[in-house]
Chains A and B, each alone.
Chain A
């Protein structure tokens, strides 16, 4: 098939530890090409999950990290200047739609709302993407699916999805996995011992108790993996926790102290 999307194929099975029935649900959603929305705090495994599903479904995966400066053209494509004159270049969304990839818009709330509306025609039964400037209407490839992720923990009203966008998606809730599962993940990914991973997860649970009480967000699985990797490299565990967990998550000296102290209750 077309080589352009082959670079987006995932050749090796990504490690993903399923948490509940999310794999089966996603497969079912894909079978009807339902657009999916993965909700949950940052670093809890959403990206890893999509990678795994793309591998499992044998689809190329095109990931776009959304940000505030992104415009519709960044998704759809634009004319560029070339020696022959101008030349149209498909954006990631257009490539995915044309060639039947899964398009994953990570942290979609970061994009401005007038940008996100370009995905609407792809998310209803039309499954088309109008390239207005080029005067083309791309009919999505039958294998194409759109997946977005978003973190409902953001309190700001400025950063929320429009209802009209939200209602086009099926939703899967992601939270931090249960203690034992998260321990398994941290141990696997970081190379730290199971016992160490267990402590790291316990520390994370302490910080999640403080969410909304001085912390905007608790420690994520991703951060635990960083800390675990440092420890596996021989760094002293308390120092690793300081560097990889406590310092990054807060600037408030009192909070830092409380978290440092919570760390020492496990070592």
Chain B
């Protein structure tokens, strides 16, 4: 698999020349969002859609839209999008398929999740058979619809219309174009509630405020038609919450907003995680006993939480609606029980409820142990069975929408309290162990261990080939013969997961590799080539050199007397004039106190040849560095030039071409000459590591200049947003240590994302890449003047 379009000639043959042009135009963008495997799928998709014989325009819509979809929800869905298009071909016109593709990026953007996007495709498939004339007007209105509806809401709205106007095509079209009254009325009814993605950051902060620890949350989506399956649950210690909550508005009661419902749910689940320290064994229990233990366990963890946070009671109480007249099913009693144990203002004179309340009250000082739930539950199950109502585990369920299904404390086999406390934090730090040759020889390799192995053993001496020392190998060690470049000890950095709004600790591993030296001539040629620019910059740089002491005069309240002003004032006093009281001055020392680190993106894409030129982005970057280094060393600020590329989170390579304490002489110049580009761009980890180096500097002002030709990306990251958010976070993190990060982007389409990552003022997009070498020193001058 390759990222060169030319290598796919076979697949492309079938495309019309016009489509081939379109593909060429989109190729650059596509290589940025797709992995090699994704590119393969993208092209196969194009060929297959071409094979439908529905015209160029359809093929070209695919070519343009598929990368945008991948950008929103990851490349894994692209194959499904192609499959869906092919499947629809026998059932609808090319125009509808084209519309589906043309709106798919909108849908992906609004849904924001690969799984939901796939469900959306399924839904379209269903709708085509149920309302064949409705799909087209609906897709026309998709943007408006998604602004108001969740996917579930859209489905319900659409299927209602399909059902109502099954045979009347005219009405169908009106309904789906939002042209009929009932269509708008249905829309009103289905208006989406609160989405978890919109509120999860708040919920996270809320939980952290209460319990001083992190909880991990995941969205789940229920069944669209019945609105069922929305029950929250806790599994693997993660809180799974519905992707959307409608407001809870039972009749005659004060409505509870979706946000508040989320809070109630999250708080209940968190209460389980915090207060359930041991599992409850289901051994020898019948389903009804389990159901009751479950209700008591809920009441127990809630009671404990309410002791600490009394206001939780109100939030939860509002969500219970059971009434004493629910007396025909066990479910009715369970719900009354749940309400009675939480809400003492709830009136219920049933003898069993009274018994339950008093049992629970007696247990108040034993609530810290969930064995209490077992005891009370079993006893209540016994007395409830006296009512002789059959128990149906499938229908006798708890209604309060915020309660989870309690699988948490039943299901797990080995409960690990530490795990509960740290859920979501798993990560393994790779350990390097330095061992002798004997130890190494005695140990068995794990053959299939990859870069992420838990332990890597390193020989602390060089190993030489055994038989032929001094012969074929010329006395060279294995390392010199065939080894990889020596690497540093690993540095581990956390990454920011925007989806859960939390850090993944020690997630990325940065390895410093030694820079290879190249031909010094290259650097000398650059200096010669830019002679004129260097000369022009001289004046600017001279002006930037440290000035020493400057005086600010005419102060009323300075540090020293300004003798000239003083004499003038005294003359005035003698003459009887009003003296000017501003006879003082202040000396300000003007010194430069900057450290600058230039961080270069050395990913594969830097090998691309600049349009209409014969040099690559990497060549330009090198030239820019040389000019900048010349400039900075003239001014005299300490500076370093480092670079990075990555191959998944376990292998972020970091190369130091020039260090702060190194002179700008042959050694760093040769290293810069030997610089190469490969692999991907995990920018956040590299920025954190650059921050580490800058932190060791003593200057009071620290500047990090990142030079990149694209956005953050890596082979093991599907979600294109992830590394963008992480990079933004990294920039914020280093800012806390007083480091200002500035990005120079060579991607002409970068405006939208770089400003989001680096901040409104802290970036520059170099539109004419060729001008980078002159621009970089000017940028430096501007930023540090």
Residues of A bordering B, CB below 8 Å: 71-73, 78-79, 81, 83, 85-86, 114, 133, 155-158, 206-207, 209-210, 213-214, 254-255, 257-259, 261-262, 264-267
Docked pose: A81 CA to B563 CA in angstroms: 12
Task: Report whether A262 and B210 are in contact in the complex, using a CB–CB cutoff of 8 Å.
Answer: yes
Set of chain A residues within 8 Å of B132, measured between Cβ atoms:
none
Task: Report whether B738 and A213 are in contact in the complex, using a CB–CB cutoff of 8 Å.
Answer: no
Task: Report whether B559 and A267 are in contact in the complex, using a CB–CB cutoff of 8 Å.
Answer: no
Known: A261-B263, A265-B315. 13 other contacts (CB 8 A): A81-B583, A86-B561, A133-B559, A156-B738, A206-B209, A209-B208, A214-B205, A254-B201, A255-B202, A258-B205, A261-B202, A264-B314, A265-B312
Shortest B303–chain A CB gap in Å is: 15
Partner among A79, A157, A209 whose Cβ is within 8 Å of the Cβ of B737: A157
Docked pose: A210 CA to B314 CA in angstroms: 24
Docked pose: A261 CA to B266 CA in angstroms: 13
Task: Report whether B579 and A209 are in contact in the complex, using a CB–CB cutoff of 8 Å.
Answer: no
Shortest A170–chain B CB gap in Å is: 26
Shortest B567–chain A CB gap in Å is: 12
Set of chain B residues within 8 Å of A262, measured between Cβ atoms:
206, 209-210
Set of chain B residues within 8 Å of A78, measured between Cβ atoms:
557-559, 584
Cβ of B369 under 8 Å from chain A: no
Set of chain A residues within 8 Å of B569, measured between Cβ atoms:
81
Set of chain B residues within 8 Å of A259, measured between Cβ atoms:
205, 209
Task: Report whether A255 and B310 are in contact in the complex, using a CB–CB cutoff of 8 Å.
Answer: no
User: Total A-B pairs in contact (CB under 8 Å)?
Assistant: 86
- Is the contact region of chain B dominated by helix, strand, or loop, or is it mixed? helix
Set of chain A residues within 8 Å of B315, measured between Cβ atoms:
264-265
Task: Report whether B311 and A264 are in contact in the complex, using a CB–CB cutoff of 8 Å.
Answer: yes
Cβ of B309 under 8 Å from chain A: yes
18 contacts between A and B (CB under 8 A): A71-B559, A71-B586, A78-B559, A81-B579, A157-B737, A158-B738, A207-B209, A209-B211, A209-B212, A210-B205, A210-B208, A257-B205, A258-B204, A258-B208, A258-B209, A265-B309, A265-B311, A267-B311
Cβ of B700 under 8 Å from chain A: yes
Shortest A222–chain B CB gap in Å is: 20
Task: Report whether A213 and B310 are in contact in the complex, using a CB–CB cutoff of 8 Å.
Answer: no
Set of chain B residues within 8 Å of A266, measured between Cβ atoms:
309-311
Task: Report whether A73 and B206 are in contact in the complex, using a CB–CB cutoff of 8 Å.
Answer: no
Known: A155-B736, A206-B210. A72 touches B559 (CB 8 A): yes
Docked pose: A73 CA to B587 CA in angstroms: 12
| Residue of chain B at shortest CB distance from A267 | B311
Set of chain B residues within 8 Å of A258, measured between Cβ atoms:
202-206, 208-209
Shortest A189–chain B CB gap in Å is: 24
Docked pose: A254 CA to B207 CA in angstroms: 13
Shortest A254–chain B CB gap in Å is: 4
Shortest A76–chain B CB gap in Å is: 10
Set of chain B residues within 8 Å of A207, measured between Cβ atoms:
209
Set of chain A residues within 8 Å of B573, measured between Cβ atoms:
83
| Residue of chain B at shortest CB distance from A250 | B205
In B186-204, which residues have CB < 8 Å from any A CB? 201-204
Task: Report whether B209 and A73 are in contact in the complex, using a CB–CB cutoff of 8 Å.
Answer: no
Task: Report whether B209 and A79 are in contact in the complex, using a CB–CB cutoff of 8 Å.
Answer: no
Known: A71-B559, A157-B737. A254 touches B311 (CB 8 A): no
Docked pose: A141 CA to B569 CA in angstroms: 37
Q: How many residues of B contact A (CB 8 A)?
A: 40
Residues of B bordering A, CB below 8 Å: 201-206, 208-212, 259, 263, 309-312, 314-315, 557-561, 566, 569-570, 573, 579, 581, 583-584, 586, 589, 695, 700-701, 736-738
Partner among A72, A79, A83 whose Cβ is within 8 Å of the Cβ of B561: A79
| Residue of chain A at shortest CB distance from B559 | A73
Shortest B261–chain A CB gap in Å is: 12
Set of chain B residues within 8 Å of A85, measured between Cβ atoms:
570
Shortest B459–chain A CB gap in Å is: 39
Docked pose: A137 CA to B510 CA in angstroms: 56
Set of chain B residues within 8 Å of A213, measured between Cβ atoms:
205, 208
Shortest A111–chain B CB gap in Å is: 14
Docked pose: A133 CA to B700 CA in angstroms: 29
Docked pose: A71 CA to B559 CA in angstroms: 8
Shortest A56–chain B CB gap in Å is: 36
Set of chain A residues within 8 Å of B259, measured between Cβ atoms:
257
Task: Report whether A157 and B700 are in contact in the complex, using a CB–CB cutoff of 8 Å.
Answer: yes
Docked pose: A265 CA to B312 CA in angstroms: 5
Docked pose: A155 CA to B733 CA in angstroms: 10
Set of chain B residues within 8 Å of A257, measured between Cβ atoms:
202, 205-206, 259
Set of chain B residues within 8 Å of A158, measured between Cβ atoms:
700-701, 738
| Residue of chain B at shortest CB distance from A84 | B573
Shortest B440–chain A CB gap in Å is: 42
Docked pose: A255 CA to B206 CA in angstroms: 8
Docked pose: A258 CA to B314 CA in angstroms: 17
Shortest A209–chain B CB gap in Å is: 4
Task: Report whether A254 and B202 are in contact in the complex, using a CB–CB cutoff of 8 Å.
Answer: yes
| Residue of chain A at shortest CB distance from B565 | A81
Shortest A181–chain B CB gap in Å is: 19
Shortest B566–chain A CB gap in Å is: 8
Set of chain B residues within 8 Å of A72, measured between Cβ atoms:
559
Shortest B422–chain A CB gap in Å is: 16
| Residue of chain A at shortest CB distance from B310 | A266
Task: Report whether A261 and B206 are in contact in the complex, using a CB–CB cutoff of 8 Å.
Answer: yes
Set of chain B residues within 8 Å of A71, measured between Cβ atoms:
559, 586
Docked pose: A213 CA to B311 CA in angstroms: 23
Shortest A134–chain B CB gap in Å is: 12
Shortest B604–chain A CB gap in Å is: 36
Shortest B576–chain A CB gap in Å is: 12
Docked pose: A117 CA to B156 CA in angstroms: 72
Set of chain B residues within 8 Å of A156, measured between Cβ atoms:
736-738
| Residue of chain B at shortest CB distance from A157 | B738
Docked pose: A73 CA to B570 CA in angstroms: 23
| Residue of chain A at shortest CB distance from B200 | A254
Set of chain A residues within 8 Å of B211, measured between Cβ atoms:
209
Docked pose: A151 CA to B316 CA in angstroms: 40
Shortest A238–chain B CB gap in Å is: 10
Partner among A73, A133, A255, A267 whose Cβ is within 8 Å of the Cβ of B205: A255
| Residue of chain A at shortest CB distance from B557 | A78
